[in-house]
Amino acid sequence: MTIEITQPSLLVVEGREEELFFGALIKHLGLQHIQVMGVGGKTNLRRNLKALTLSPRFAQVISLGVVRDANNNPGAAFQSVRDALHAVNLPAPERALMPAGDSPQVFVMILPGEGSPGMLEDLCLRAVVQDPAMLCVERYFECLQQEDLSLPDNMSKARVQVFLASRRKARLRLGVAAQAGYWPWDKKAFEQVRNFLQQIGA
């Protein structure tokens, strides 16, 4: 697999929704030289990093960021990224958000951040916790329980979907919603991600 590199800074994310989400935030921040690449799931990270290093223009890359979800174990998620970086002879940071190496300088972020379990959806929910619609979101799931109905397997994804159903254009997925301006980028919840992207794109 050949990956075309078009910018000096690369951001590697899990999938299409993350591509759209981070692309929207990068545009909001006015960062001009970050290329976002989805790898089609965390299990494909090592293979796609290898493809990146084999790209004819990889020598021109000055910074590389890797983002993945913590899921249930932030430590294991971070170690998994480190292992993938080591496997393709790229610098592997000792800690999340701390750079390693030079040309490229490598950064890793595990979402939702601060060593917490969870995923991108949890980060987005933190940003809208004070939105009036969130009260209705919680009441919806309370109603399901009161009616003795099964709750979704992934409550974070389900809460995001219900929240987005409250917007003017309903039925948008997380990434498309980001491009539509439905996530409040200036909230403190996104501060760590904003700083991370500014480091990569500096």
Encode pLDDT of 171-202 as tens digits: 899 999 999 999 999 999 999 999 999 999 87
What are the tokens at 85? 């970086």
Encode pLDDT of 63-100 as tens digits: 999 999 999 999 999 999 999 999 999 999 999 999 99
What are the tokens at 104? 């490229």
What are the tokens at 14? 């899990």
Task: Give the chain's radius of gyration (CA, Å).
Answer: 18
Q: Is 50 exposed, middle or buried (0-12, 13-18, 19+ CB in 10 A)?
A: middle
Give the per-residue pLDDT at 186. Answer: 97
Evaluate whether 123 touches 156 at the Cβ level (below 8 Å).
no
pLDDT(1) > 60 = no
Bridge partners for 109 per DSSP: 67
Encode pLDDT of 121-131 as tens digits: 999 999 999 99
Cα separation, 124 vs 185, whole angstroms: 9
pLDDT(143) > 90 = yes
Give the per-residue pLDDT at 43. Answer: 85
Give the per-residue pLDDT at 40. Answer: 85
SS3 143: helix
pLDDT(148) > 60 = yes
Q: Is 142 exposed, middle or buried (0-12, 13-18, 19+ CB in 10 A)?
A: exposed
Bridge partners for 111 per DSSP: 69
User: Which amino acid, residue 53?
Assistant: T
pLDDT(2) > 70 = no
